[in-house]
A and B are shown apart, each in its own frame.
Chain A
Amino acid sequence: MATTTSTARGDAPTKGEGPVLSFEDLHVRFSTQFGEVHAVKGITFDVHPGEVVALVGESGSGKSVTSMTALGLLPANARVSGDIRVGGTSLGGLDDRGLRRVRGRDVAMVFQEPMTALNPVLTIGLQLTEALELHGIAYGTDASARAVELLRMVGIPEPERRARQYPHELSGGQRQRVVIAMAISCEPRVIIADEPTTALDVTVQAEILDLLRSLKDTLRTGILLITHNMGVVADMADRVAVMLRGDLVETGTVEEVLVRPVHEYTRRLLGSVPHLGAREDAQVAAVDPAEGAERRAGARTGTPALDLSGLVIEYQRLGRPPFRAVDDVSLTVGESEIVGLVGESGSGKSTIGRCALGLIPAASGSVNIFGQDVGRIGRRDLKELRRRIGVVFQDPAASLNPRMPVGDCVAEPLVVHKVLRSGKDRLEKVHEMLDAVELPRSTANRYPHELSGGQRQRVSIARALILDPELLVADEPTSALDVSVQASVLALLTDLQARYGFACLFVSHDLAVVDLLAHRVVVLRGGRVVEAGLREDVLHRPQEEYTRRLLAAAPVPEPHEQRRRREARHAFLAELGEEASVLRDVRGVSGRD
Chain B
Amino acid sequence: MPDPTQPGDEYAPQPTDSGISPVPGHVMPEVTPGRTEDRSYSQGQLVRRRFFRHVGAMVSLAVLLLVVLVSFTSIGFGPVPGWWDKDFARAADLVDGGRPTLQLFPFALGEHPFGQDNAGKDYFALVMRGTQISLTIAFVVGIVSTALGTLVGALAGYYRGWVESVLMRLTDLFIVIPLLVLAAVLGRIAGGGGPVMLALVLGLVTWTGLARLVRGEVLSLRERDFVTAARAGGTGAVRTVVKHILPNAVGVIIVSGTLAIASAILLETALSFLGFGVQPPDVSLGSLISTYQSAFTTRPWLFWWPGLVILTIALSVNFVGDGLRDAFDPRQNRSKS
Contact = CB atoms under 8 A, between A and B. Distances in A.
Nearest to B30: A60
A103 B8 contact: yes
Contact of B6 (A112, A135, A401, A442): A135
A117 interface: yes
Contacts of A102: 8
Given A111-B16, A113-B16, A402-B248, A449 B334 contact: yes
A12 interface: no
Contacts of B225: 393-395, 398-399
Contacts of B22: 30, 32, 37, 39, 65, 75, 77-78
Most chain A CB within a 10 A radius of its CB, from B13, B31, B225: B13
B235 A416 contact: yes
Interface in A158-194: 182, 186-187, 194
Contacts of B10: 100, 103-104, 134
Contacts of A402: 43, 226, 248, 337
Interface string B8-43: 111111111011101111111111100011101111
A401 B247 contact: yes
B43 A416 contact: no
Contact of A400 (B31, B226, B247, B334): B226
A186 B13 CA distance: 14
B48 interface: no
Interface string B209-244: 000000000000000111011111111100100011
B161 interface: no
B172 to A, nearest CB: 21
B226 A401 contact: yes
A393 B239 contact: no
Q: How large is the interface on A (under 10, 10 to 19, 20 to 34, 35 or more residues)?
A: 35 or more
A499 B41 CA distance: 34
B85 interface: no
Contacts of B1: 6, 137
B188 to A, nearest CB: 43
Interface in A46-77: 60, 64-65, 68, 71, 73-75, 77
Interface in A12-49: 30, 32-35, 37, 39
A359 interface: yes
B250 to A, nearest CB: 8
Given A39-B22, A136-B6, A137-B1, A116 B11 contact: no
Given A449-B337, A451-B29, A463-B229, 15 more contacts: A32-B24, A37-B27, A73-B12, A100-B9, A104-B12, A111-B16, A116-B16, A134-B11, A135-B2, A136-B2, A136-B5, A358-B232, A359-B232, A413-B234, A445-B40
29 contacts: A3-B4, A4-B4, A32-B22, A33-B24, A34-B24, A37-B31, A60-B30, A78-B22, A97-B7, A102-B8, A103-B11, A108-B12, A111-B16, A111-B19, A113-B18, A117-B16, A134-B11, A135-B2, A383-B236, A386-B232, A386-B233, A397-B337, A401-B226, A402-B226, A404-B247, A449-B25, A449-B337, A451-B29, A463-B233
- Complex A-B, nearest 7 residue pairs according to Cβ-Cβ distance, in ascending order: A136-B6, A386-B234, A101-B8, A399-B225, A397-B337, A6-B1, A398-B225
